[in-house]
């Protein structure tokens, strides 16, 4: 009997090792990065008018959290419990909340991040299609951020395969759009990091110049801190090249950096145990550009919550990681954070009204 038990245990061990080896091979073979400077398709932009200098426009940026993050949701990678959205119905309900915000604000430009198109974690809901339908009169551009192999963790409910990206909507004509690949971890660490990119949309203006609209979602967790710096350096170099020839630059999104420097001091909950969001390195901002972090000093509203537990406004660690970078030929009228109470995402949408100077 003992020999039989040992034999069975040996067989189980061999089986586990074969499965583990097979998964490693699968992950290695499935890994890929999209090429840099990939031209993107502009949908529904043929009949739209060109934007104008001297006019006031509204832009909104919103990380929609792949449709999973209702206020009671916590995520396993942040120390919480869930690896997927609660259900397909929950994804659709959260997206309905996002749609409500989009239709209420009715922005000229919408920059949306973490929009899934075919992911296990969001029950294969095509979120890009649903969000396009919310503002059907807009030009739209989707840039795939990552297409990660199936993650068999947690074992009880694997996170699965994720295909996600950046969706940009514009009320005005878009000439072209391009996906720029960002630096990510190298070596074996690259298999634990997600592909990263930003989208650049080029909008013709009535003065012959171009509005360059950037939608970004930078890395949050990197073992090598220089990666975050290299991502910003690439972004700034790209923006500088456009500003140098007289174009206008508006960049928005989820920077995964504390744009307020010390959000704990603003919102009153210590971030000592949460080290993922470092202060935005303002010393890297090149001449001719400025950071616009939305903040109402009288009634401050954060743009992001840590998702290690369900949202509690009294105890949750909150901060502002979403905002805008602009060139000096863009004047900001006002910025703000739409307070949704984190009802439909772990982010609140941020917005800005601005004018392109003649």
The residue count for the chain: 358
SS (H, E, C) 127-164: HHHHHHHHCCCCEEEEEEEEEEEEECCCCCCCCEEEEE
- State the residue for tokens 């060109």: 50
Q: What is the pLDDT of residue 146?
A: 85
Q: What is the pLDDT of residue 262?
A: 93
Q: What is the pLDDT of residues 228-266, one digit of tens each?
A: 889 999 999 999 999 999 999 999 999 999 999 999 999
The pLDDT-based confidence of 132 (bands split at 50, 70, 90) is very high
Q: Kindly tell me if the per-residue pLDDT of 270 is higher than 50.
A: yes
Q: Kindly tell me if the per-residue pLDDT of 10 is higher than 50.
A: yes
Q: What is the pLDDT of residue 275?
A: 79
CA distance 211 to 200: 10
On whether the CB atoms of residues 279 and 319 are closer than 8 A, the answer is no
On whether the CB atoms of residues 339 and 301 are closer than 8 A, the answer is yes
Q: What is the pLDDT of residue 7?
A: 66
Q: What is the pLDDT of residue 197?
A: 94
CA distance 66 to 307: 13
More confident position, 66 or 158? 66
Q: Kindly tell me if the per-residue pLDDT of 23 is higher than 60.
A: no
CA distance 241 to 236: 9
Least confident of 10-19, 203-212, 221-230, 342-351: 10-19
Q: What is the pLDDT of residue 115?
A: 98
Q: What's the mean pLDDT when you consider all of the chain?
A: 90
The pLDDT-based confidence of 186 (bands split at 50, 70, 90) is low
The pair of structure tokens assigned to 140 is 């739209």
Average pLDDT over residues 76-96: 96
CA distance 302 to 260: 10
Task: Supply the DSSP symbol for 218.
Answer: -
The pair of structure tokens assigned to 48 is 């739209």
Average pLDDT over residues 117-139: 96
Least confident of 117-126, 146-155, 157-166, 201-210: 146-155
On whether the CB atoms of residues 105 and 334 are closer than 8 A, the answer is no
Which of 45-54, 265-274, 318-327: highest mean pLDDT? 318-327
Q: Kindly tell me if the per-residue pLDDT of 285 is higher than 90.
A: yes
CA distance 312 to 305: 10
Q: What is the pLDDT of residue 328?
A: 97
Q: What is the pLDDT of residue 86?
A: 97
- State the residue for tokens 């012959």: 208
Q: Which residues pair with 324 in a beta bridge?
A: 252, 292
Portion of the chain with pLDDT greater than 90, in percent: 73
150 CB burial (10 A radius; 0-12, 13-18, 19+): middle
Residue-by-residue DSSP string for 327-352? ETTEEEEEEEE---TTSSSSB--EEE
Q: Kindly tell me if the per-residue pLDDT of 24 is higher than 70.
A: no
Task: Supply the DSSP symbol for 169.
Answer: E
CA distance 358 to 356: 7
Q: What is the pLDDT of residues 314-336, one digit of tens each?
A: 999 999 999 999 999 999 999 99
Q: Which residues pair with 305 in a beta bridge?
A: 318
- State the residue for tokens 């509204």: 58
Query: Domain 34-356, what fold?
Result: Deoxyribonuclease I; Chain A (3.60.10)
Q: Kindly tell me if the per-residue pLDDT of 26 is higher than 50.
A: no
Q: Kindly tell me if the per-residue pLDDT of 192 is higher than 60.
A: no
Q: Kindly tell me if the per-residue pLDDT of 75 is higher than 70.
A: yes
β-pair type (330-337, 350-356): antiparallel
């Amino acid at each position: 009997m003992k020999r039989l038990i040992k034999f069975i245990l040996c067989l189980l061990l061999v089986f586990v090792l074969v499965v583990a080896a097979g998964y490693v091979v699968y992950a290695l073979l499935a890994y890929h990065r999209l090429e840099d400077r990939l031209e993107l398709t502009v949908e529904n932009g043929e009949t739209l008018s060109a934007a104008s200098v001297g006019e006031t426009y509204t832009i909104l940026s919103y990380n929609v959290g792949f449709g999973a993050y209702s206020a009671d949701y916590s995520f396993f990678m942040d120390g919480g419990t869930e690896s997927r959205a609660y259900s397909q119905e929950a994804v659709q309900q959260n997206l309905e909340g996002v749609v409500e915000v989009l239709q209420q604000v009715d922005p000229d430009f919408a920059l949306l991040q973490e929009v899934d198109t075919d992911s296990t974690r969001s029950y294969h809901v095509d979120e890009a299609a649903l969000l396009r339908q919310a503002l059907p009169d807009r030009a739209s551009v989707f840039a795939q951020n990552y297409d990660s192999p199936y993650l068999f963790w947690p074992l009880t409910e694997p996170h699965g395969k994720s295909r996600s990206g950046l969706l940009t909507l514009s009320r005005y004509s878009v000439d072209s759009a391009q996906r720029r690949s960002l630096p990510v971890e190298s070596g074996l660490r690259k298999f634990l990091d997600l592909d990263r990119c930003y989208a650049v949309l080029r909008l013709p203006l009535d003065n012959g110049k171009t509005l360059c609209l950037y939608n970004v979602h930078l890395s949050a967790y990197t073992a090598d801190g220089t990666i975050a710096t290299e991502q910003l350096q690439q972004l700034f170099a790209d923006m500088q090249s456009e500003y140098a020839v007289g174009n206008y630059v508006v960049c928005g999104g989820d920077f995964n950096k504390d744009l307020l420097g010390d959000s704990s001091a603003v919102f009153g909950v210590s971030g000592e145990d949460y080290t993922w969001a470092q202060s935005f390195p303002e010393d890297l901002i090149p001449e001719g550009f400025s950071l616009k972090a939305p903040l109402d000093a009288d009634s401050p509203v954060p743009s992001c919550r840590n998702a290690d537990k369900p949202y509690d406004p009294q105890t949750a660690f909150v901060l502002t990681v979403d905002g805008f970078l602009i060139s000096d030929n863009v004047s900001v009228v006002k910025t703000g954070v739409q307070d949704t109470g984190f009802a439909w995402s772990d982010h609140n949408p941020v917005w800005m009204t601005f004018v392109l100077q003649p």
